[in-house]
Amino acid sequence: MEIGSFLELQLPKGREYYGQSKNVARLNSGRAAIYHASRVLGCDTVWVPVYQCETVRDFLLKKGVTVKYYHIDPEFNPTDISANDDEAILLVNYYGVMSHSRMASLAAGYKNVIIDNSQAFFCKPVEGAMNVYSARKFIGVPDGAYVLGEGAERFCEEYEKCHSSDTAAFLLMRVEYGCEGKTYEARSINENRIDSEDIMQMSALTRYILDGTDCEEIKRKRRENFRLAHALFGDVNRIDPTRYLDGDCVPMVYPLVVEDDSLLHRLLEHKHFQGHWWSYILEENDGDLFECYLSRYIIPITIDQRYGKAELEFLRGLI
């Protein structure tokens, strides 16, 4: 027991969003959480959408999992899954705009389902599936992910404990220096750490921050910003991001599709630091695919809890 010496960072306690959940695994990253979910399901093969971050595919392959691919149509429905009973299906809650009922409906057609809620941290778990959540897409933490579902806690004792404080300085530096320069370099060091790590238990620092975070305010602000963004951008958006939305959804971003290859560069020049997601898809697939269309044109408009009307109206002017 340590008593005395200097004071550490102190935050409120008891606010961890999934703190009271049963059947929960706390891990270091979303990609590791997806792999863990496949272990719990007992599946050595996972069907992954073409429209997905390559880090998921690469991590599964590194762990010896067989990866098969399926496509989605313009309504974000899977089109060509033909899984065996011993294979898992990864279904993605894109942008956090897919309601719980939408994800449950998709899952109902398959036996071994992993719901990737990395972009939908507050989406209620789908019963009968393994549900994966990534904390750092919604909250300022250096890493961290959850798996919720029956038996999710299995195997966790096999994993080492992650330590993130050595590369977490970028969270403090952002406050004083902004996100460019030395802060970006510090964040890159943290990203490289995550990229090189095996599956691990969530770090004590991440869980400490999560336990002190006001999630209800985050949910309120993101919903408010999404509604405003749709009012500002809905008339130029080539997709309808409200198609599967309901009042419980807490989106990660506002997915804006504008067929203008110069727009992203123009926004970056004005310090809107969002890029096209998963550009590798354009290099590896037929350019006529819907996934390639999204990869080329979608711009995830920032709607998180730090911002509001002034920032979104500024972006509207640029666009």
In a domain, 10, yes or no: no
Say yes or no: 53 and 202 in one domain.
yes
- Asked if residue 68 has pLDDT above 90, the reply is yes
Cβ partners under 8 Å of residue 301, min gap 6: 229, 233, 253, 254, 255, 256, 274, 312, 315
Say yes or no: 102 and 66 in one domain.
yes
Q: What pLDDT does 216 receive?
A: 96
In a domain, 88, yes or no: yes
Say yes or no: 100 and 142 in one domain.
yes
Q: What pLDDT does 271 receive?
A: 87
Q: What pLDDT does 35 receive?
A: 98
Say yes or no: 184 and 220 in one domain.
no
- Asked if residue 3 has pLDDT above 90, the reply is no
In a domain, 109, yes or no: yes
Say yes or no: 228 and 306 in one domain.
yes
- Which two tokens mark 195? 């990229």
* Phi-psi group of 264: left, alpha or beta (phi > 0 → left; psi -120 to 50 → alpha; rest → beta): alpha
Give the residue numbers spanning the domain of 177: 163-196
Q: What pLDDT does 127 receive?
A: 97
Confidence tier at 202 by pLDDT (50, 70, 90): very high
Angle between helices 215-233 and 309-318 (to 10 degrees): 30
Confidence tier at 2 by pLDDT (50, 70, 90): confident
pTM: 0.96
Say yes or no: 224 and 284 in one domain.
yes
The 10s digit of each residue's pLDDT in 256-267 is: 999 999 999 999
